[in-house]
Amino acid sequence: MPKPGYFCSVRKRCFRTNRLLRSVVLLLLFGGVLAAQSLHSVGNIFKPLATPAELVSELSILTIAICATIFAIVAGLMAYAVIRFGYREGDSRSEPPQVYGSNQVEIAWTVIPILIVFVLTMSTARVTSAIQDRQIPKDALNVTVIGHQWWWEFRYPDLKIVTANELHVPVSSMAQPRVTSLTLRSADVAHGFWVPQLAGKTDVIPNRTNKMWIDPRELGTYLGNCSEFCGMEHARMELRVIVESDEDFAKWVARQQQPAATPELTENRQAFLASPCIACHTVSGTRALGKMGPDLTHLMGRQTLAAMEVPNTAENLRDWIKDPQKLKPGNKMPAVKISDAQLDRMVAYLASLQ
The residues of the shown chain that bind ligand CUA, judged by CB under 6 A, are 147, 150, 191, 226, 228-230, 234, 237
Alpha helical stretches, state H, the chain = 17-38, 51-85, 103-132, 246-257, 267-273, 314-322, 324-327, 340-351
Shortest Å, Cβ 194 to ligand CUA: 10
Is 127 or 212 the residue whose CB approaches ligand CUA more closely?
212
Is 186 or 275 the residue whose CB approaches ligand CUA more closely?
186
**Integer Cα distance of 282 and 266 in angstroms:** 18
Q: Per the omega criterion (within 30 degrees of 0), is the bond before 194 cis?
A: no
Instruction: Please list, in sequence order, all residues whose beta carbon lies within 8 angstroms of the beta carbon of residue 279, skipping any fewer than 6 positions away.
Output: 290, 292
**Integer Cα distance of 226 and 229 in angstroms:** 8
Shortest Å, Cβ 34 to ligand CUA: 23
The one-letter amino acid code at 111 reads V
Is 145 or 214 the residue whose CB approaches ligand CUA more closely?
145
**Integer Cα distance of 50 and 220 in angstroms:** 13
Is 162 or 237 the residue whose CB approaches ligand CUA more closely?
237
At residue 7, the 3 state secondary structure works out as strand
Is 151 or 252 the residue whose CB approaches ligand CUA more closely?
151
Shortest Å, Cβ 285 to ligand CUA: 31
Give the DSSP letter string of 46-111.
TS--SHHHHHHHHHHHHHHHHHHHHHHHHHHHHHHHHHHHS--TT---SPPPP----HHHHHHHHH
**Integer Cα distance of 123 and 130 in angstroms:** 10
DSSP-derived secondary structure letter, 31 = H
**Integer Cα distance of 70 and 15 in angstroms:** 43
DSSP-derived secondary structure letter, 299 = G
Instruction: Please list, in sequence order, all residues whose beta carbon lies within 8 angstroms of the beta carbon of residue 272, skipping any fewer than 6 positions away.
Output: 278, 283, 288, 345, 346, 349, 350
Is 226 or 241 the residue whose CB approaches ligand CUA more closely?
226
DSSP-derived secondary structure letter, 177 = -
Shortest Å, Cβ 55 to ligand CUA: 24
Is 193 or 272 the residue whose CB approaches ligand CUA more closely?
193
Is 191 or 298 the residue whose CB approaches ligand CUA more closely?
191
Shortest Å, Cβ 146 to ligand CUA: 11
Shortest Å, Cβ 202 to ligand CUA: 13
Contact yes or no for 238/191 (Cβ under 8 A): no
Shortest Å, Cβ 336 to ligand CUA: 25
Shortest Å, Cβ 188 to ligand CUA: 9
